[in-house]
Amino acid sequence: MGFLRIFKNMFVQTLIGVALGIVAGLMWPSFTDPATHVKVIGVAEKLKPLGDGFINLVKMSIGPIIFCTVTVGIARMNDLKSFGRVGGKALIYFEVVSTIALLIGVAVATLLPMGAGMHYTPSEADAAAVATYAAKAHDMSFAGFLLSMIPTTVVSAFAEGNLLQVLVVSVLTGIACTKLGPLGHKVADALEKVSKVFFAIINMLVLLAPIGAFGAMAYTVGKFGPEKLLNLAALVGVFYATSAFFIVVVLGAICRLAGFSFFKFFRYIWREFEVVFSAFSSEAALPQLMVKLERLGASKSVVGLVVPTGYSFNLDGTNIYMTLATLFLAQAMDIHLSVMQIVVIMGIAMLTSKGASGVSGAGFITLAATLQVIPDIPVAALGLILGVDRFMSHCRALTNFMGNAVGSLVIAAWDGALDREVLHRELDKGPGPAFPGEMVPAHDETGPD
């Protein structure tokens, strides 16, 4: 009976789903008929809707949750100066840590030139494969990024699932509530009750994570095949190792400076880490993360503002990926990049990554946008890594999630909005109920503001 109890663990169920997905991809892959040269879609690739469906189910609740929590958080701040102070500190932290992530990607790619000796030349097939991503990348100029933040209507922000636009609507609504006095407080109370409904929905949906993981992995292996994936295993492996270094060493040092243990914190949010692992998306665990941070003693108003903002402005995994992948492509094509070109790449990557949240194939699109400013590296070169991008997307999501989890708690501590007694008590006690568990913070939500 004890052995069977292991299978009730969400992480074990997810690993089983991943393993079965790999088996399905190997047994029923897509292939090109040698006689007719026509691609035959295998059973595994047809399982893609299982993964997409799970992510879409989770994402449908993200917009309303962000709107409710951000609006309530701002509405309950004593004044707009508090909002500006917290927002300013958050942006400073995000930019500093994002720069560190970019530099680590450059350093690793320079020390470990994985693309050297490949002598790769993009083909017409490669250009066709990345044409869609390149077209989307044209819209990611600085002006385009600013305009993309503004929804055409209030409803369109939620209908399109654009996290940045939802955030803009939420901030405006929260500020409006602060100016309405008692009426604004009533609106905030009502939105807080609505948010609890969507938290309950999330609790039900995450139980489907193993099925989503099965479909996503079967599609990836079935479509791209093990041979092509193995050819680029070095890039994928180094990216995972670099991201692990960033999480444990860089984020670990930040946690130590902030006065708490990274490993205890990681254990505390492990179940949310499992959700990200299952869904291939950091957004899937956003609501649960916010509740866990409040339970750790962080102010509800700070959590409600910083976490959603971080999901658009603090994408550490995406930043590592962009510099690492760009230098890999340059090495593969025997292109030498000057120091100034690398600096330009970092600057553009800092901007383009801000629009990555909530966009399908976001990391790949932002990489295409970054390459637009380096004429020596054609966008068609992205065809070289298109086949393994799905695996790197998985790592990007995990790293982005951890970066935002640590950053949000650190910013709360920086702003004096963290009850350290509650923090250490909760970290010592552990994460509490088994996943999906109770979604109500254990401490008074009105904590230090």
| pLDDT value at residue 448 | 31
Band the pLDDT of 248: cuts 50, 70, 90.
very high
| pLDDT value at residue 261 | 92
| pLDDT value at residue 67 | 83
Task: Provide CB contacts within 8 A for 243, sequence distance 6+.
Answer: 317, 320, 395, 396, 398, 399
* Residue 360 pLDDT > 60: no
- What's the gap between Cα 5 and its chain centre? 31
- What's the gap between Cα 445 and its chain centre? 26
199 vs 198, higher pLDDT: 198
370 vs 208, higher pLDDT: 208
Q: What is the pLDDT of residues 59-107, one digit of tens each?
A: 777 778 778 877 877 777 656 677 778 878 888 998 899 899 999 999 9
Q: What is the pLDDT of residues 206-236, one digit of tens each?
A: 778 788 878 877 876 787 666 555 556 788 8
311 vs 266, higher pLDDT: 266
CATH architecture for the domain at 2-429 = Orthogonal Bundle (1.10)
Rounded CA separation 157/160 (Å): 6
Band the pLDDT of 266: cuts 50, 70, 90.
very high
Task: Tell me how crowded residue 424 is: count the other CB atoms within 10 A of its CB.
Answer: 16
| pLDDT value at residue 434 | 36
Residue 73 structure tokens = 């958080």
**268-272 average pLDDT score:** 87
Band the pLDDT of 252: cuts 50, 70, 90.
very high
| pLDDT value at residue 388 | 65
| pLDDT value at residue 354 | 61
Rounded CA separation 369/145 (Å): 11
Residue 61 structure tokens = 């609740």
* Residue 153 pLDDT > 80: yes
At CA 148, angle to CA 144 and CA 152, rounded to 5?
130
**409-429 average pLDDT score:** 90
**350-371 average pLDDT score:** 60
Distances (CA, A) of 446 to 73, 119, 173: 10, 60, 20
At CA 353, angle to CA 347 and CA 356, rounded to 5?
165
At CA 218, angle to CA 123 and CA 226, rounded to 5?
50
- Grouping H, G, I as helix, E, B as strand and the rest as coil, residue 140 is coil
Distances (CA, A) of 409 to 277, 306, 333, 435: 21, 9, 42, 21
Band the pLDDT of 366: cuts 50, 70, 90.
low
Band the pLDDT of 406: cuts 50, 70, 90.
very high
Number of alpha carbons in the 13 Å side-chain half-sphere of residue 420: 9
Rounded CA separation 394/435 (Å): 21
**189-217 average pLDDT score:** 80
| pLDDT value at residue 439 | 42
Band the pLDDT of 35: cuts 50, 70, 90.
confident
Summary mean pLDDT of the chain: 77
Handedness of CA 265, 353, 308, 160 (dihedral sign): negative
* Residue 138 pLDDT > 60: no
| pLDDT value at residue 15 | 74
**352-375 average pLDDT score:** 59
- Domain edges within the chain: 2-429
Share of the chain above pLDDT 70, in %: 73
Number of alpha carbons in the 13 Å side-chain half-sphere of residue 272: 28
| pLDDT value at residue 241 | 94
**290-315 average pLDDT score:** 84
Q: What is the pLDDT of residues 330-359, one digit of tens each?
A: 888 788 888 887 887 787 777 666 655 544
Residue 438 structure tokens = 């109770």
CB 307 within 8 A of CB 289: yes
- Grouping H, G, I as helix, E, B as strand and the rest as coil, residue 32 is strand
271 vs 442, higher pLDDT: 271
| pLDDT value at residue 257 | 93
Share of the chain above pLDDT 90, in %: 14
Give whichever of 180-184, 383-387, 390-394 has the largest mean pLDDT.
180-184
| pLDDT value at residue 177 | 86
Band the pLDDT of 132: cuts 50, 70, 90.
low
Task: Provide CB contacts within 8 A for 134, sequence distance 6+.
Answer: 368, 379, 382
15 vs 184, higher pLDDT: 184
